């Protein structure tokens, strides 16, 4: 794996470009097993919005540093947010509205992953708990190492998961019974079971093999027409939430423009001549 210089994008995330047109986003708080605090949620949204606007970026891999992908929400800070000592008798309606706004801001941070035009690949090593499951559920492709473990842990702290897991995971797994079992019990789903049920599409032996596999797939995506990849992701996301007829109409509207792209001509010629072609960035 060829790794260019890694630079901190925030206090929580580091972004690098290990391959041309491929960005690697690392949750970079290993001393807390990458537990996510309040500041990190805002940084997550900023990082992905920035990458979404980066025309040189064609694929993204997200992973965690250290032994674990993500331990979920930072519980110490979480308690202080819910039960602040300086406002013990705050009006319940006002506190409720403030908490709804807070949850909404966290939801938008996770949805920013789904909304970027580039495909996002999650590479999960070790534990992926609570908010970590929210994050990978918003990704397009999920790989993990053989040591990976997943848990919808919110039930064990008296909560229902509220950042996208309960909305996205049933459509990913296609098994309502399993999703409900995991959400009601908080039990661990290990790598082998995650593969069987479609939580991930590939299990690699260890962290090194995991990153190599994720970056290899990202590089393959980055070698394709960015016009075609962007349209494909947009169509898949739209079709997931709409009827077949609506999805067909949606892609017809996209392709009435995209069929006129120079990328189509170059791709067809390269295919017929058994050669490769390079594509210009989106503008």
Give the C-alpha separation, 1 to 56, whole Å.
20
Bridge-partner residues for 142, per DSSP?
122
Give catalytic residues, as residue numbers.
Answer: 73, 131, 134, 154, 162
């Amino acid at each position: 794996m060829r790794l260019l210089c890694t630079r901190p994008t925030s206090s929580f995330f580091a972004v690098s470009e290990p391959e041309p047109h491929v960005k690697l986003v690392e949750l970079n708080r290993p001393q807390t097993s990458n537990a996510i605090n309040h500041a990190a949620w805002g940084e997550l949204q900023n990082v992905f919005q920035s990458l979404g606007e980066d025309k040189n970026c064609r694929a993204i891999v997200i992973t965690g540093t250290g032994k674990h992908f993500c331990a979920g929400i930072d519980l110490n800070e979480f308690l202080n947010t819910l039960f602040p000592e300086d406002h013990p008798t705050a009006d319940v309606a006002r506190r409720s509205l403030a908490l709804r706004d807070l949850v909404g801001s966290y939801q938008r941070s996770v949805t920013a992953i789904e909304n970027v035009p580039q495909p996002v690949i999650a590479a999960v090593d070790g534990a992926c708990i609570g908010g970590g499951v929210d994050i990978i559920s918003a990704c397009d492709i999920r790989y993990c190492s053989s040591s990976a473990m997943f848990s919808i842990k919110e039930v064990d702290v008296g909560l229902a998961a509220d950042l996208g897991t309960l909305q996205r995971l049933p459509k990913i797994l296609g098994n309502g019974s399993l999703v409900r079992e995991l959400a009601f019990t908080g039990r661990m789903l290990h790598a082998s079971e995650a593969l069987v049920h479609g939580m991930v599409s590939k299990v690699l032996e260890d962290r090194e093999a995991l990153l190599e596999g994720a970056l290899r797939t990202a590089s393959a995506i980055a070698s394709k027409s960015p016009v075609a990849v962007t349209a494909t992701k947009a169509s898949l996301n739209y079709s997931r939430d709409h009827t077949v007829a609506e999805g067909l109409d949606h892609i017809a509207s996209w392709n009435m423009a995209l069929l006129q792209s120079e990328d189509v001509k170059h791709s067809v010629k390269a295919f017929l001549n058994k050669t490769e072609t390079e594509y210009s960035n989106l503008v």
